[in-house]
Structure formats: C-alpha cells, structure tokens
Amino acid sequence: MIGARLKLARAAAGLSLRGLEARLDALVSAQAIGKYERDEMMPSSSVLIALARTLGVTEEYLLNPADVDLVAVEFRKRKLTSAKEAAEVRARILSEVERYLTIEQILAVQAPRVFPSADRHRVRSEDDLENAAEQLRTQWKLGTDAIPNLCEFLEDKGVKICAIPLPDNVSGVQANIRTADAAELPVIVVNANDPGERQRFTMAQELGHLYLAVAKSLDLEKACHRFAAAFLVPRATLIRETGASRHAISLRELFQLKLLFGVSGQALAYRCKDLGIINQATLANLFKAFGARGWRKKEPLELPKEVPSRFERLCIRALAEGVISESKASELLQKTVREVVESLDTPPERDADDGHSPGV
C-alpha cells in the first residue's frame, strides 16, 4: 500500500490534493488521490509513474512501507504560520531522516546513541550551565578552542542534522523520530537560509535541549541559550582574549572574536556581559551601536553556512564500492543519475566567503 508514502511525498512537495491534481494535468482526480492516501484504492501503473515523477520520488519509494515515524517536533522561537507549512516541514524531516537511516543500514554503519536519559546533565543554576558546557567539552575532548565545523563534529557524534529552508522567524527545529525497531532518534534541523553563525548557535542550543535536564525553576529556553554560548565560547578562552574586566569593547574587536569563535557579534556581547567582562551599560551601548548601523538583523562578516555532509559521503561511498546502484544513489540523494555520476570525480562545492572560518 502506498498511502503513507504518497501523503508524505505530497506534503514534502507542499501540494494540496487539488494542487497535485493540477500538476498531474487532471490525469487523476483529487478525490482519487485521497483514496490512494487512505489506502482505499491503488493507482494504475501509469498513474503511479506520474505521481512519482511529479513528486520527485521513485515508484519504488512509494511502494515501500515507511519505517520511521515522527513522534514530536518543537519549533524554536515561533511556530510556523500555517498547518500546511508545518506539515511540509514535518514531511521534509521524515524524508531526509528516512533516507539517512537507509544508507546507514545498507552500509551497516551504526551511529552512537546520543545522550540516553540517564546521561543528561542536571542543571539547577546558571553556574551549572557553565559546568555542563565545560564537562561536555571535556567528555568530547574538545579542549577550550573554537570548533571549526560544528555541524561536521556533531554528525560524527551521532547527532542527525538536517538543513531545511524555514521561515525567517524559525531558527531551528528539534524532532524526535521513532524507527522501525521502536528506538527514538533525536534530530536537529537548522534553517538553511540562516548565516553560518546563526546556524551554529541554533545547533548548540538544540544540543542543550538534548543534553540538559533543567530544573523547573529555570527558564528552559534561556538555559539552553546560555549553554550554547558557553559551549561555543568557553569562559577561559574568552577571558584570555578580552581580559577579565573591560570598561569598553570596540565593534572591531567583537567582529574579530566573531571570526575566532564562529558566533555573532551580538551573542559575544551578551557572553561578555554574562561573564562579568562588561557591565549592563556597556552592553546597552554596544547594542545601540548595532542598531544605529542596522546590524541587529544582518551583521557584517556573515560566516559560510554549515552544510550537513555525512549523509552524502555515505551515499558516495556506497556507490563507489558498488554496494548501491546509480539509480539507488539518485533516489537517496534526490539528484539525477547524471549529477550523481559526475559528482564522484568532482570536488564538493564550497560556499563563497571571505576566507575566514571559526578558529582562524
């Protein structure tokens, strides 16, 4: 039966039943498509081929039963503006994670489980948040240096990361996926439209939601925000760079630190205030300067986006070793066969930037 897969693919494409009917040039009615999705009727082979082509999937995909289920989704900052928009995002998450798990299963690659509930760090105060960030860095042998590519590092630790275009008012999504064997898999989704510094902070903040067990007396979002800042900008390293107490910090220095740590100048200003390096009046002056220059929404020196790459590497590896066919790689990567074959001997593209990256 194709119901669940067809509904998922249609939602991921952002199409209503009527919209899909129109894309199919009235080959089949919206009423009939609804029956396919409820498994009340099966499409003919010609209609199945047309559905797959229109939705950008293969017939095999539609005919195979889904083996992942979306348990919960939490949108950070604000919720999506419409039920249709939320359904489209949920479908994209499911589709990407399912393809990710498929290639891991084919290659017998088992990613580590991320933070079982017994291993979550209990937090009762702001000091606990600093300690939690330092403890996790120690556990992961990160030291106190900046993390050059946070996305790559977290994927290596077993965190599934998806980059999906989201509305401007949604910075990130945390999703819980249930697999066929009843295991729950946490997924971090970042807004593909955000600059690199915002993506990095979103990933670190969602990491906080996975790692921390925050007391009810604390604000959960503020706690994860503080954890993210402490994880990306270690206290000892920042104080080494700025000194323990400052009467003023120039915008130029903030942006030099931005290139060092890979977080926004505004996040660094808040971090300096939280650590007592500057006082509230100095922070207010910095943000007044940001506002006067129109930098509150769009800062100078935007960092390149951090694009998840582990999934693609696994697919290319499987294809190069002959474990999967070109058509299967095309289906998983959602590229044409020609694009997949050409990519085997082509260096990956890199976002244009000014040559700077965190840690430089």
Kindly list the distances between the CA atom of residue 265 and the CA atoms of 115, 136, 175, 176, 236, in Å, as whole numbers in the listed order.
30, 24, 29, 32, 18
What does the pLDDT read at residue 118? Answer: 54
**What is d(CA 151, CA 169) in angstroms, rounded to the nearest whole number?**
21
Per-residue H/E/C for the chain: CCHHHHHHHHHHCCCCHHHHHHHCCCCCCHHHHHHHHCCCCCCCHHHHHHHHHHHCCCHHHHHCCCCEEEEEEEECCCCCCCHHHHHHHHHHHHHHHHHHHHHHHHCCCCCCCCCCHHHCEEECCHHHHHHHHHHHHHHCCCCCCCCCCHHHHHHHCCCEEEEECCCCCCCEEEEEEEECCCCEEEEEEEECCCCHHHHHHHHHHHHHHHHEEECCCCCHHHHHHHHHHHHHCCHHHHHHHHCCCCCCCCHHHHHHHHHHHCCCHHHHHHHHHHCCCCCHHHHHHHHHHHHHCCCCCCCCCCCCCCCCCHHHHHHHHHHHCCCCCHHHHHHHHCCCHHHHHHHCCCCCCCCCCCCCCCCC
What does the pLDDT read at residue 353? Answer: 45
Q: How many residues does the chain have?
A: 360
**What is d(CA 205, CA 222) in angstroms, rounded to the nearest whole number?**
10
Determine the distance from the C-alpha atom of residue 140 to the mean position of all C-alpha atoms in its chain, rounded to a whole number: 20
Residue 117, token pair as written in the block: 């509930």
**What is d(CA 12, CA 19) in angstroms, rounded to the nearest whole number?**
13
What does the pLDDT read at residue 94? Answer: 79
First CA to last CA across the chain, in angstroms? 53
pTM for this predicted structure = 0.81
For CA atoms 141, 145, 146, 149, the dihedral sign is negative
Decide if 39 contacts 29 (C-beta within 8 A): no
Which CATH number fits the domain 1-66, given the four candidates 3.40.50.1820, 1.10.260.40, 1.20.810.10, 1.10.357.10? Answer: 1.10.260.40
Residue 277, token pair as written in the block: 């390096």
**What is d(CA 212, CA 122) in angstroms, rounded to the nearest whole number?**
6
Residue 14 makes CB contacts below 8 A (sequence gap 6+) with: 84, 88
What does the pLDDT read at residue 128? Answer: 92
pLDDT tens for the chain, 360 residues long, are 788 778 878 887 888 899 999 999 889 999 999 999 898 999 999 999 999 888 877 777 787 766 666 666 666 655 666 677 777 777 788 788 888 888 888 998 877 666 655 578 899 988 899 999 999 999 899 999 899 999 999 988 888 898 888 877 777 777 777 776 656 777 888 889 999 999 999 999 999 988 999 999 999 989 999 999 999 999 999 999 999 999 999 999 999 999 999 999 999 999 999 999 999 999 999 999 999 999 998 999 999 998 888 999 999 999 999 999 998 999 889 888 999 998 888 887 765 444 445 654
What does the pLDDT read at residue 69? Answer: 65
**What is d(CA 353, CA 301) in angstroms, rounded to the nearest whole number?**
9
